[in-house]
Structure 1
Amino acid sequence: MKKDENFQKQYEEWLENTNKLIEKYPEKKAQFTTSSEIPVERLYTPDNVDETYMEQLGFPGQYPYTRGIRPTMYRARNWTMRQYAGFGSAEETNKRFRYLLEQGQTGLSVAFDLPTQIGYDSDDSMAKGEVGKVGVAIDSLEDMEALLKEIPLDKVSTSMTINAPAAVLLAMYIAVGEKQGVSKDKISGTIQNDILKEYIARGTYIFPPKPSMRLITDIFAYCAQEVPKWNTISISGYHIREAGSTAAQELAFTIANGVAYVEAALQAGLSIDKFAPRLAFFFNAHNQFFEEVAKFRAARRIWAKIMKEKFGAKDEKSWQLRFHTQTGGSTLTAQQPDNNIVRVAMQALSAVLGGTQSLHTNSRDEALALPTEESARIALRTQQIIANESGVADTVDPLGGSYYVEALTDEIEKKVNDYLNKIEDLGGAVAAIEAGFMQREIQHAAYETQKAIESGEEIVVGMNSFKMENEPQPELLRVDPSLGEKQTEKLLLLKEKRNNEEVSSALQALEAAAKGSENLMPYIIDCVKKYCTIGEICGVLRQQFGEYQGV
């Protein structure tokens, strides 16, 4: 935007007075910097935004969706309050789910233990010591039935953070719905199903990239026909950020992965406007408040342009980036854990001001253990206070038009597009992952952040500054150490009472289908209904597909 003469005069007066003050009281830094190394100016004016910024800004619910994907946003309805939960047995987690729903949570989000995430049964030697520790142990349909007991699947949507064996857990969910009398076309929810970020940042992969992408596109195709309300993938930047990336890297690598999934689906013969409206994203809300707001706004704009201009999608829903947000786990401290309540509140507020569709707020004690019931309640209340007492949901995109926010949004968009061009030059996301490009970029960013924390340049309240001696320790949640034995006993009983001839037949049919090119979802659903275990199903696929060994 151009400055008029009066503005120019006022600006020069302000600059002169500011420079005099700086001579008397020097600033801590000549140029303040965010974690993504975007310079932050002392003041933002119309000169900091592009002359066409109003065109880029647009209106809520209109392309390119900078201001939100719905015209009314939270004036019509609040975001889904979806607290991530899961620990110990299916019965214990079911109790926590029902407690959170009673406290006003509006959607479920399931955390699975590590053996489940990498396709091992609880009685496998690989699972020893990990059963039920970081999430709930699910070995078979029997466990899934217990997990969802008395939860009406036609009324509650469920997000499942599961990737390599996502098809198996989705099959179990479908089977439980049918047992409740809820047909496939009535259930709603999301599976994370994002294997590429596992290779980049998280590590809970099983199969190599090619067969993994086959499983993902099989889910896309099956759900487009049979489970139309299900979000078939949640393309995740959350774990990329937790691994140490900057905000721009989180966005760039996530969107690059999204492009790879779209290309894989198109190569599999799927129509873009059939599957693209069910794609969803999952982002981190970190500490740099305004940068996070700008990141979410830039994400919508970038994805809309890619889907419309690169892929030629016609359906407006294919252009819209819908996303879930979780507050930053890596920002929480074991020291003075009550401080984490404040951190989480600020991060949650940035997600809401950025236009999220769904939100999880971390609990204060998660740097130490799984959250207690009290901590989980406080985390949920944080969202409810933002929704009902702060007023930030009363108008759409209240920060829209801020010179600072718009300039940050533009800067992040530029940085992300630079990364996307580099990744395209490398041959796309899969090739960039195989070459270790994204991994190296994240490692470098994480190293620089850790150096800044250890030197004290970056202040972490209560940890490297404003410390306390002999601070009180909170009461922590403890998982039953005998759970592994109990799950093993349950598996033994299951294998005795199920029809093992039907189990063997279903697994053989899956093996034959895996050797060919048929869609695997119907075969996996059949295995699940026969009470094949997750270890048995993934074992068959391991034999056919092999295991990924990393770079």
Structure 2
Amino acid sequence: MANEKHIQTTSGIPIKEVYTEPSDMAERPGEFPYTRGIQKDMYRGKLWTMRQYAGFSTAAESNKRYHYLLSQGTMGLSVAFDLPTQIGYDSDHPMSEGEVGKVGVAIDSLKDMEILFDGIELQKITTSMTINATAPILLAMYIALAKKQGADLAQLSGTIQNDILKEYAARGTYIYPPAPSMRLITDVFEYCAKEVPKWNTISISGYHIREAGSTAVQELAFTLANGKTYLKAALEKGLDINVFARRLSFFFNCHNNFFEEIAKFRAARRMWANITKELGATHPDAQKLRFHSQTGGSTLTAQQPYNNIVRVSNQALAAVLGGTQSLHTNGFDEALSLPTEEAARIALRTQQIIAFESGVTDTVDPLAGSYFVELLTDEMVKAAQIYIDKIDAMGGSVKAIENDYIQQQIGASAYEYQRAVESGDRVIIGVNKYVENEPEQGDIFRVNDTIRTHQIDQILALKNTRNMAVLGPILADLKEAAKGTENVMPFILRAVENYSTLGEIADIFREVFGEY
């Protein structure tokens, strides 16, 4: 028809008015290539983990929020660290000024970690830590605390993000050049396989790629390409793919386009199963893509913020229909500030209502067999594979990042999206359609700048009480290990157990590896 509307997904995949061709539904959930879910019974057997991302100010303040969230029914904790912690500076470093405790909690030493989890038994919960360049140090602190609590390290479970490639491409909290950064990541793989076997050693993240402006297809492609690079790096280190690949997890964004997001998750499982199989994985658990998802922070608007409750609900439902293993829902006020307690509670209740009231958990892969969803899944696979093939031809993700390819692709998509919003071609309710004059927002969460003074006092007190006669040689041994090829994790663990600060350890690596 001449005046038929041209409709497409946010990645540019055309959407037909109606889908009439049946799809081959011979594939079963819990069977290769896992398009329909990694467990045969999915949420009928076990709900996803309802995990709320939280962390701000001091360890003591964040500890209060964790106890509150656990009392409200959160099933797992997710730690947000402040910017200095993420890039390896103690709170008393000049670079930390103005940033301490702002976008997450300030962790300078094991002492802070002890306060952060006071009254919380680490063996009884799962903890996700959004940390990358300094991931080995924060993991060592967590393990040290678990040991002090008397936990069985073989039962300790959780996740560190530990995904440095997307930092170079999209987020920016890297410290060292790619080669030594990859060495630290594979050292964590190797150490945890032996010492903390239930720990997820990396959460390969598409979330920040999407937040930087990529399309859904690019998020899928660049994330899996990064995952492939990590697999190859671990194989080159001599690790067994059937062991370490079981502990890899993924972290995806869940954006506004409902059906595209569901198809993205289904496509991701299928593609990853084939990637791992091609690289030698034969055990089903090494072929399964397990993922955490978070609703899209960049989709939240400061205008008419209560509209964000609807957006988050829409995105959370898509994540569940797409088969997520773990989910964080954003607070409606996060375009304005860190979430208030009320906003965090509403975000958690959103997940609980979907789980217990909607009925979508009653059957596995409820949208399977939909002509639209099945074909859209196939189209997502095809479109993402084109990008992956290009990256493979360049020599993998590290080369693609060094060539600025991934960054340029994300930048171009971000520009197109913003242009569409500004022209009105893409409607954002409250921003470019149904706009209202609004009063100033009242109840906004603010973190006080005096936190830095508190943290500096804590560091001084720590340095006055620790035993440098013991710690000095331990730090010297860490430096020698970094210069060589030994796994650095046991050396980091000894350093943090003797109350070395995060900045002291990061500075040793800066000296040996250089900065990027």
**What TM-score results when the alignment is normalised by the length of structure 2?**
0.99
Cα contact 1:109–1:159 (8 A) shared by 2: yes
Cα distance in 1 between the residues matched to 2:262 and 2:47 = 17
- Which runs of no fewer than 5 residues in structure 1 stay unpaired? 1-18
* Percent of pairs with identical residues: 62
- Residue 212 in structure 1 maps to residue 181 in structure 2: yes
Alignment-derived partner of residue 31 in structure 1: 6
Alignment-derived partner of residue 491 in structure 1: 459
1:183 Cα deviation after fit? 2.7
What amino acid does structure 2 have at the position aligned with 1:460? I
Cα distance in 1 between the residues matched to 2:155 and 2:496 = 20
Cα distance in 2 between the residues matched to 1:302 and 1:179 = 41
Alignment-derived partner of residue 322 in structure 2: 354
Alignment-derived partner of residue 82 in structure 2: 113
- Residue 285 in structure 1 maps to residue 254 in structure 2: yes
Alignment-derived partner of residue 500 in structure 2: 532
Where does 1:50-89 land on structure 2 (aligned, <5 Å)?
Answer: 53-55=24-26, 58-89=27-58
Q: Deviations over 1:377-434 (max 9, x none)?
A: 0000000000000110110000001000001000000011111110011111110010
Cα distance in 1 between the residues matched to 2:123 and 2:512 = 36
Residue aligned with 1:54, SS: coil
Q: Which of these residues, 18, 21, 33, is aligned with residue 43 of structure 1?
A: 18
Cα contact 1:163–1:194 (8 A) shared by 2: yes
Cα distance in 2 between the residues matched to 1:319 and 1:481 = 46
How many residues align structurally?
Answer: 516
- Which runs of no fewer than 5 residues in structure 2 stay unpaired? none
Cα contact 1:327–1:361 (8 A) shared by 2: yes
Cα distance in 2 between the residues matched to 1:179 and 1:255 = 37
Alignment-derived partner of residue 150 in structure 1: 119
Alignment-derived partner of residue 514 in structure 2: 546
Cα distance in 2 between the residues matched to 1:369 and 1:123 = 24
Residue aligned with 1:282, SS: strand
Q: Which of these residues, 195, 217, 220, is aligned with residue 164 of structure 2?
A: 195
Question: Which structure 1 residue ranges, 4+ long, deviate > 3 Å from structure 2?
Answer: none
Cα contact 1:336–1:471 (8 A) shared by 2: no
Cα distance in 1 between the residues matched to 2:288 and 2:383 = 21
Cα distance in 1 between the residues matched to 2:442 and 2:201 = 39
What amino acid does structure 2 have at the position aligned with 1:279? L
1:471 Cα deviation after fit? 3.7
Where does 1:50-449 land on structure 2 (aligned, <5 Å)?
Answer: 53-55=24-26, 58-308=27-277, 310-449=278-417
Cα distance in 2 between the residues matched to 1:163 and 1:390 = 36
What amino acid does structure 2 have at the position aligned with 1:502? V
Q: More displaced, 476-485 or 283-292?
A: 476-485
Residue aligned with 1:42, SS: coil
Q: More displaced, 468-477 or 100-109?
A: 468-477
1:170 Cα deviation after fit? 0.3
Structure whose alpha-carbon radius of gyration is higher? 1
Alignment-derived partner of residue 12 in structure 1: none
Residue aligned with 1:489, SS: helix
What amino acid does structure 2 have at the position aligned with 1:298? A
Q: Deviations over 1:139-188 (max 9, x none)?
A: 00000000011111111000000000100000000011011110321211
**What TM-score results when the alignment is normalised by the length of structure 1?**
0.93
Cα distance in 1 between the residues matched to 2:86 and 2:440 = 35
Cα contact 1:119–1:165 (8 A) shared by 2: yes
Cα distance in 1 between the residues matched to 2:440 and 2:300 = 17
Cα distance in 1 between the residues matched to 2:37 and 2:515 = 40
Cα distance in 1 between the residues matched to 2:197 and 2:391 = 32
1:474 Cα deviation after fit? 3.9
Residue aligned with 2:128, SS: strand
What amino acid does structure 1 have at the position aligned with 2:470? E
Where does 1:5-24 land on structure 2 (aligned, <5 Å)?
Answer: none
What amino acid does structure 1 have at the position aligned with 2:48? W
What amino acid does structure 2 have at the position aligned with 1:32? I
Cα distance in 1 between the residues matched to 2:471 and 2:296 = 42
What amino acid does structure 2 have at the position aligned with 1:519? N
